[in-house]
Amino acid sequence: MSTYKRATLDDEDPLDSLGDGDGYPNGFQVNFRGSRSSRECWAKWTRTEKQLVVLVGVLVVLLVACLLGLVFQYRARPPAVCLSEACISVTSSILSSLDRAVNPCEDFFSYACGGWIKANPLPDGHSRWGTFNNLWEHNQAIMKHLLENTTANVSSEAERKAQRYYQACMNESKIEELRATPLVELIQKLGGWNITGTWAGDNFNETLREVTAHYRTSPFFSVYVSADSKNSNSNVIQVDQSGLGLPSRDYYLNKTENEKVLTGYLNYMVQLGMFLGGTDEESTRQQMQQILDFETALANITIPQEKHRDEEVIYHKMTAGDLKELAPAVDWMPFLSTVFYPVELNESEPVVVYAKEYLEQVSDLILTTDKCLLNNYMIWNLVRKTSPLLDQRFRDAEEKFMEVMYGTKKSCLPRWKFCISDTDNNLGFALGAMFVKATFAEDSKQVAEEMIAEIKTAFEESLETLQWMDEETRKSAKEKADAIYNMIGYPKFIMDPKELDKVFNDYEAVSDLYFENVMQFYNFSARVTADQLRKPPNRDQWSMTPPTVNAYYSPTKNEIVFPAGILQAPFYTRASPKSLNFGGIGVVVGHELTHAFDDQGREYDKDGNLRPWWKNSSVEAFKRQTVCMVEQYGNYTVNGEAVNGKHTLGENIADNGGLKAAYRAYQNWLKKNGDEETLPTLGLTNYQLFFVGFAQVWCSVRTPESSHEGLITDPHSPSRFRVIGTVSNSQEFAEHFSCPPGSPMNPLKKCEVW
């Protein structure tokens, strides 16, 4: 073996070579002898040998010190900075939205969104504006191009029907030429309206059947087909409260606070009555006031939304025959047979009623109300629904009312935007096929699937650490989470031209008769609904169209749905840092997943059936956990008006659970993949970027009127509190932003459900 040589501090004799088997190739000797032998050996060594040994020891110590220094330097070194075009672009967007003058520990919403709010005054014609609206406008522009490009290679007749429907909506000259005639003729066909002419007389049940079955209105109550909550494999007729012209009962009952809206609504009613043939404004106003008073009586018996949440309490299954005893004012069997024609029904047909006391009271109200007023009210429901389909006078009148109702600044919204929204509402899956083919990258499905799997894993990890839940319920909850079905992008049938055409086979649209097209669609929709009654619920039947910028959880199907419209920036971008994607679409996924376990979703088992599958001890513990959140959000106010902590509870649980699951999933991703590059100039860590990305999804502005409407109708908290409510419950947020205990974003008392 060759001699191992190295530099020394002094001249020395070379070391003898080691015998075979006594050492390693690098020259280090292995010595197992005891200390006494070592001392004897040391005494025999020459001075030069001793100096050499000391020198080697010093060099070893220096080498170890250097290695440790390198390790610590590597650990302390900031992560690499991403300087790609995509990273520079997203950095610019984030930077322009921030307000660095605000302390993030004092008000994280203003810190994250202050710059955005200053740069985004409300556009004319809008009562609210935010990320969702911006993205929807982008999607609308794409749909406009697709619907107007009639020479494009569309692959199905259904898509051509969507184009013709849109063309008819855009045919303003024909609409202006017809003026109010289509609706006037329809009213005459239904027996007349005392406001605009002669009324045929006592035909209450006949008119109720017609306006409900053929024109999709819901005077007095709503009737529809959906999965039976206690037997989710079958559909059933369902009945619930309905019939108010304004968005909430509160508008009618708090008259002083809402006087401006009530006056604006009455003026709108009078204007429409006059356009449709009312000859005497005083008489028209008097009769419209009677309708408004009747709607106020309906509002008085309408159950408040926060008391209409517990489905275990409000679910009442009975037969169609039982309805006659419950609400005798309605001739139920002819009514249901007309609404669900041609399906054959008898008195043993099961019906689920969600507003039993309301139906009893509305029946009494009908029986004690003048028949002429009842007819005026039912026809008003039809007029309110169909007047936007008529000439410009009707749209101007509605716009004027919207100014009062929502505080919008007057502007002439481009006709094409109205027509895009209407086409999406009615033929959205035919239009959705075109949208998906033009915009949706198929590998986005794979990315979304991976994200959902990571969020599910994180949620289930949190489930394991919950202190308040018993083991048996925890096991069942994990099974439910595992069973949640993912629907991403679009329902499969829309990409098969034959299947898509089969769905829309019985609907026809012509290019120049918009009002008739819509009426035909109402009839077509009613037949589709009736057909579903004898079929099991279908996973391919979505509640949102593919271009929609939103997502949802279906409790009876135990599925989460993410339309193609939301799977894009700022929620998800392939080139963005993972911190932003987890803070964006990751929180959205976590939000929808948590809905399976909110105050309503938790009542459904893994198969989508409403049943008590929790142990009582865990039910009581859950309710105790939610009290904290009800109080927390109930203390937030907008313009002096409090958030309804009970009404918003489900969404607040989902917001908090979604943020927590997405954060944990991002942590897991980093453990698996290592640190990612950070963004330049921001001075934010990737964890801080996660929270900023989450908050900036909710940057928005609203008029005071729109904020008021949101507080009394929307089950979601206002955007500001969706941000500060969740981050102030997050210990991780407080740590990453070094928020002092007791600061607004790091309160000592935190609420947690999941």
Cα–Cα distance between 190 and 173 in angstroms, integer? 27
- Find all residues with CB under 8 Å of 19, minimum gap 6, and list them: none
In degrees, to the nearest 5, what angle opens at C-alpha 119 toward C-alphas 118 and 124? 100
Q: Are 328 and 363 in contact (CB under 8 A)?
A: yes
Structure tokens given for 399: 């716009």
Catalogue the long-range contacts made by 1-8 (C-beta closer than 8 Å, 24 or more residues apart).
1/25, 3/27, 8/51, 8/52, 8/55
Q: Is the dihedral of CA 164, 169, 175, 176 positive or negative?
A: negative
* Residue 350 β-bridge partners: 319
Cα–Cα distance between 610 and 227 in angstroms, integer? 11
Structure tokens given for 298: 């309906």
Q: Are 234 and 289 in contact (CB under 8 A)?
A: no
Q: Are 754 and 473 in contact (CB under 8 A)?
A: no
| Identity of the residue numbered 533 | L
Calculate the dihedral angle through the C-alpha atoms of 569, 574, 575, 577, rounding to the nearest 10 degrees: 80
Cα–Cα distance between 648 and 715 in angstroms, integer? 5
Structure tokens given for 178: 């017809």
Cα–Cα distance between 279 and 674 in angstroms, integer? 76
Q: Are 381 and 321 in contact (CB under 8 A)?
A: no
Query: Could you give the residue numbers annotated as active site?
Result: 592, 655
3-state secondary structure 235-247: EEEEEEECCCCCC
Q: Are 567 and 448 in contact (CB under 8 A)?
A: yes
Nearest partner of 494 among 196, 234, 241, 159, judged by Cα: 159
| Identity of the residue numbered 172 | E
SS3 476: helix
* Residue 700 β-bridge partners: 130
Q: Are 717 and 648 in contact (CB under 8 A)?
A: yes
What is the phi-psi region of residue 681: left when phi exceeds 0, alpha when psi lies from -120 to 50, beta otherwise? left
Q: Is the peptide bond before 328 cis (omega within 30 degrees of 0)?
A: no
| Identity of the residue numbered 589 | V
Structure tokens given for 626: 């939610």
Q: The tokens 């649980």 sit on which residue?
A: 653
Q: Are 593 and 553 in contact (CB under 8 A)?
A: yes
- Find all residues with CB under 8 Å of 176, minimum gap 6, and list them: 391, 392
Cα–Cα distance between 228 and 351 in angstroms, integer? 9
Please tell me what DSSP assigns to residue 718. Answer: P
Q: The tokens 């008021």 sit on which residue?
A: 708
